[in-house]
Structure 1
Amino acid sequence: MTSTPTAVGRVRRAPAATVGVRRRTLAVIGAILAIALAVVLSLAFGSRPVSIDEIADGLFSWTQGRTPSAIGAIAVQERIPRTVLGLVAGAALALSGALMQAITRNPIADPGILGVNTGAALAVVCGIAFFGISSPFEYLWLALGGAILTAIFVYNVGSVGPGGSTPIKLALAGAATTAALGSLVNAVLLPRTAAMDVFRFWQVGGVAGAGWGTMATIFPLLAVGAVIGLLCAPGLNALALGDDVAVGLGVHIGRTRVFAAAAGVVLCAAVTAVAGPIAFVGLMIPHVVRMLVGPDQRWVLPLSAAGGAVLLVLADTIGRLIGYPGETEAGIVTAFVGAPVLILIARRTRMRAL
């Protein structure tokens, strides 16, 4: 008699496992198709629509190193760098947001809300205003330093008091830090018209200034940050069960947090250095991915990267269309889409510690 319920339980659990595998498989296939569609749309639409034949001519000309034969094909070649930067930057920002949410166990954590973007922006602003920097390499290291210092400051402030660092305290510390650093950015820029002219387009966030040399500067850091972040996935799964359980499973919780946090900060800072402080990508995408495939970080992290790439490329394409004959920066589009998502998450999340 005792074996029957067990057998029934196994039968009932099997379909659930099958559905989980099916859903994750469909999510992977959907992500691949969405990336392909986003790339085609990015190459096809802009100040001048481009046909499929012109896209093919532009791509073949680019790969073979020859001059394209049509104006549309030339437009395709001009759009290739910004499409590649959109894919890479979106993937890095979404992966950074997923890592920060896993570390803090906070669904509204992302580089923008925790102040990392603003810290990187302040460092770049100071470099432009006081030291006259202009190269992507200088932007990169200043943004990296500002992001790291801001992340350390927010974590220390959020850890003060009983209970140590909690999701709510970290979010409040990040929001306060973002407001303070944003004020400092304005204080530095307002008296300096020349610095403001250099900074104002970068501040909005976008991929219009993409170039192969710029991307070559950040690719090594992005690759290292992405590999480290993905390797932290099993440890982050254990941390989600609680520190005591994670220690019992043999996970070094301090090392896992440090490596995952470092990877998230590096990814965010490298993108901010070349594309500006693009907000909400790291907030929206991991939340949507968890709704689709569950909380397993081995799936959440890579699918978040894919989703972020799709979102930023589509945001850049939409910005080119709605801003015609000019263009609207991708950072404005992601903020417009991300604000309702933040409100939805806040309404659905129970803040038990309040």
Structure 2
Amino acid sequence: MKTTKKKLALALVVTMTSFSAAMANQGGDQAYLNNDPIDINGYVQEQPSVSDQELETVKNELKKQENAIIINKEKKKKYNQLSRSTEKLADVTEDMIEERKESQETIDRYNKKIDCLMAEGFKEGCEEFVKAPKKDEVVVQQAAPVVEAPLEKPAQKGDNFGEMIKVLPYTGFTTMISDNETLEAGLLGGVKVETNINSRFSIGIGFNYTTMSTEDFGGNNYLDPGYVDYYQSYYGGRDIEYSNMNFDIYSKFFISKNERFRPYIGAGLGYNRNTLKYSNNGSPNPYYNPGSSSQFYGYNFGNEEVSSSSVNVELMAGSEMKFTDTIGANVEFNYMRALGGNLSSKNGINRLYAPDQQRLEDLSDELTEANVLSIFAGLLIEL
């Protein structure tokens, strides 16, 4: 049994060895078939060429493009060389032209000099090379023509800013018209100082003082609803004194440039300080309680007084008249009205002892809002 197994194993080994050798031999034969054929001298034989018309066309086109690439590269090099050579040629040509011009000028100058030296007598244009002969000439001097300068229009007086300074003292009449009152001033006076901007415009500042008086009939025979006694009537009413101080800044426009008669219009802005008080404060009363100066059958005399401030706008129209270069006259119509009511009001009086205080305050408010019409006349003094 063991002998049989050994024989079988040996036979299997021999069979596998033979199969492997056969496979190896077959692979070697295939390798020889795949290798390039070798001739008897050991050189590789050329494969037979296989081609058609399309393949040949592609080959030819490829060869043309390769040749074109080589040619274009060569052209590029030559064009670069040509550009550099052209620049050099331009520089050399420019230098040659300049040298040629200079040479030609030298030649022309030389020829002209020879021509001048060889000429008989003096020749025009040869002053540079030959001295001109002196000539006996009679020199006649002619008077220079008179040149008339254009007449310049003289500058008019007042064209320059600040050239003229004027002082205008004045007096006049003033009427104050309100809803319930019409008052005329007893005294009005003031002064203005102005200077020119140009021949048509001027600016200035002014001050005036006004006083007037009226009678208070507002409390006659009426009971005072807020106080112990009556409003003071005192034989028909107490006298009220009114005073006003005004400071203003203004501008004028002169309609005409005439130096003797100069009508104008203007406008300005001002500040007013008003004061109202009774003139018969502390009047003696012989009819009641001799020795008392503030009682009149139960009526009170108080020291009533009101001071107020306001801002006003004014319009003006008038004319200046010059008698001489420095003296003249000025006539003006002026309209003034407050902007709003009183800016401030001051009294500090106890109405229990001064029952007519409210009357003064009401009158102050009314006069502040009144239309103020004035006519001024005065001197004009030009400095």
Same fold (TM over 0.5): no
Q: Which has the higher contact order (CA 8 A, sep 6+)?
A: 1
TM bracket (short chain): under 0.3
Structure 2 length normalisation: TM-score? Answer: 0.19
Say which structure is richer in strand.
Answer: 2
Structure 1 length normalisation: TM-score? Answer: 0.20
Structure with greater Cα Rg: 2
